[in-house]
A and B are shown apart, each in its own frame.
Chain A
Amino acid sequence: MLSFALKRLGQSLVVVLVLSIVLFVGVWMIGNPVDVLISSEASQAERLAAIRSLGLDKPLWQQYLIFLGNAVQGDWGTSFVYHEPVTDILLQRLPASIELAMVAFVIAMAISIPAGLYAGLKPDSLGAKSIMGFSLIGVSIPTFWQGMLLIIVFGLTILLLPVGDRGDVATRFGITSSLWTLDGWWHVILPAISLALLKMSLLIRVTRAATMELTRVDFVKYAYAKGVPTRKVVWRHIFRNALIPLITVVGIELGNLLAYGVITETVFSWPGLGKLLINSIRVLDRPMIVAQLTYTALLFIFINFMVDILYMVIDPRVRSAMVRRVA
Chain B
Amino acid sequence: MNTSFTDYARRFAESPLAVLSLAVTLVCILCAIFAPLIAPTNPYDLSKLQLSDALKPSGSVQVVPGEELRTDIHIADGQVASVSIAGSAVTGFRAATCGVGCLDLSALPEGAALSSLELRDLPRGAVVEGGRKHPVRPWWTVRNPAGSTVRVTADTAFPASFDIMAIARAEPQETGLVFLLGTDSFGRDMLSAILYGIRISILVGLVAAGGAMIIGTALGLLAAWRGGVTDALIMRAVDFMLGFPALLVGLAILAILGSGVGKVIVAIVLVQWCYYARTTRSVALSELGKEYVEAARCLRLSPTRTMVRHVLPNCLPQVIVLFTLNIAAAISLESSLSFLGIGLPVTRPSLGMLIANGYEFIFSHKYWISIYPGVALLVMIVAMNLLGDRLRDLNNPRLER
Contact = CB atoms under 8 A, between A and B. Distances in A.
Contacts, number: 102
B273 interface: no
B240 A281 contact: no
B355 A143 contact: no
Interface stretch (B26-34, B110-118, B243-251): B243-251
A143 to B, nearest CB: 7
B251 A262 contact: yes
Interface residues of B, number: 36
Contacts of A139: 385
Nearest to A282: B341
Most chain B CB within 10 A, of A144, A156, A296, is at A144
Interface string B257-301: 000000000000000000000000000000000000000000000
A30 B121 CA distance: 65
Interface stretch (A91-99, A145-153, A311-319): A145-153
B385 A142 contact: no
Interface in A52-82: none
Interface string A252-265: 00011001101100
B378 interface: yes
A30 B263 CA distance: 14
A144 B336 contact: yes
Contacts of A4: none
B362 interface: yes
Contacts of B356: 144
A263 B247 contact: yes
A263 B367 contact: no
A31 interface: yes
Contacts of B244: 259, 297, 300
A136 B383 CA distance: 10
A1 interface: no
Contact of B342 (A137, A255, A278): A278
Interface in A278-295: 278, 281-282, 289, 293
B46 to A, nearest CB: 24
A156 B367 CA distance: 10
A266 interface: yes
A301 interface: yes
A136 B245 CA distance: 19
Contact of B243 (A31, A144, A304): A304
Given A140-B381, A281-B251, 17 more contacts: A26-B256, A31-B256, A136-B385, A137-B382, A142-B339, A142-B377, A144-B336, A149-B371, A156-B365, A259-B245, A259-B248, A262-B251, A263-B340, A267-B359, A278-B341, A293-B251, A300-B245
Enumerate the 8 nearest inter-chain pairs by beta-carbon distance, A residue then B residue, closest first. A145-B374, A140-B381, A259-B245, A140-B382, A259-B248, A144-B339, A26-B256, A256-B245
Interface of A: 15, 18, 26-27, 30-31, 136-137, 139-145, 148-149, 151-152, 156, 255-256, 259-260, 262-263, 266-267, 277-278, 281-282, 289, 293, 296-297, 300-301, 304
